[in-house]
Structure 1
């Protein structure tokens, strides 16, 4: 059931991308959303709920395997029924991955995961990923951001867009 929800979010996001690329809607609609992706609305979106999504967690790289643990939070002022966090890597993922429930691969270097409900001033589900890399790397840049938030306005993107450099030491790097 959770995988189908993720697929719906991914398919809906790809549909928005296709429509934007085909000239439907305002020119550059997706590009205007910035790194927050196709479903995240910026300040001033008409009739949209307002929520401040944030992510906190850590990453560790050792022997070609990247471990990511993160917790989505909502600082409000509205609750969100769901959102999608995107994790992008600077290196390719191995072809086969065993992903946590509610997560789906979205490209050679990308994984998206649903957060579950984000209550007002509360946390979503804890997300743990163990990602195998195609080849061992001495370092990996990990980018975490919101890919979809149901169209809610998020005026503070500083707490949901993270870039973390993980060195192949096994040490955990917090964000």
Structure 2
């Protein structure tokens, strides 16, 4: 790890189940929908067309989440053959989805580690992270579960 750079931007992509109407958490509680606050923290490195990601899911609560799915999308297509860890799967030409496992309220999940190979010889890649399924819980705070990180082909670590 030659250097660490923080390049993290909030991103409003995709949609999660949201209980509408005024009243926020109270409306969710009245309808019996649990509310959680998922977040992902870690780093990404790129060198020689390979991107390595290590991230830890966290649930700031107030409800437990039995399982969730996080999606990682890249601005460059992935090669056709990928070796992904258990709990992760391809989701199109530029994306991978991974299970988080159970996340207790105010708890930290197991670290997710994966490496992907990019097509061509890109000098940079943008990785977008977002929750695509939250186990039936509503997450109203998308400032920490939707992020965008730019990684340069330098071998440096970029923190999110």
- Whether these two folds match at TM > 0.5 is yes
Mapped to 2, the partners of 1:121 and 1:36 lie a distance apart of 24
2:13 matched to which residue of 1?
A: 35
Which has the larger helix fraction? 1
**Under a length normalisation based on structure 1, what TM-score does the superposition of the two structures give?**
0.77
**1:119 to partner: Cα distance:** 0.6
**1:43 to partner: Cα distance:** 4.6
1:91 matched to which residue of 2?
A: 76
**1:36 to partner: Cα distance:** 4.2
**1:47 to partner: Cα distance:** 2.7
> Does structure 2 conserve the Cα–Cα contact (< 8 Å) formed by 1:36 and 1:148?
no
Per-residue CA shift, 1:109-166, capped at 9, x if unaligned?
0000000000111111110011011112010000001011122111111011110000
Which has the larger strand fraction? 2
**Under a length normalisation based on structure 2, what TM-score does the superposition of the two structures give?**
0.83
1:104 matched to which residue of 2?
A: 89
Gaps of 5+ in 2: 1-11, 21-27
When residues 166 and 103 of structure 1 are mapped into structure 2, their CA distance, relative to the original with a 3 A threshold, is same
Aligned residues: CA RMSD: 1.3
2:37 matched to which residue of 1?
A: 52
| Higher RCO, Cα 8 Å, sep 6+ | 2
1:14 matched to which residue of 2?
A: none
Mapped to 2, the partners of 1:63 and 1:114 lie a distance apart of 27
Mapped to 2, the partners of 1:163 and 1:59 lie a distance apart of 11
**1:42 to partner: Cα distance:** 2.0
> Does structure 2 conserve the Cα–Cα contact (< 8 Å) formed by 1:43 and 1:154?
no
Moved over 6 A (4+): none
Gaps of 5+ in 1: 1-33
Mapped to 2, the partners of 1:151 and 1:124 lie a distance apart of 17
Mapped to 2, the partners of 1:69 and 1:114 lie a distance apart of 14
Aligned length: 140
1:65 matched to which residue of 2?
A: 50
Mapped to 2, the partners of 1:83 and 1:42 lie a distance apart of 15
SS of aligned partner of 2:51: strand
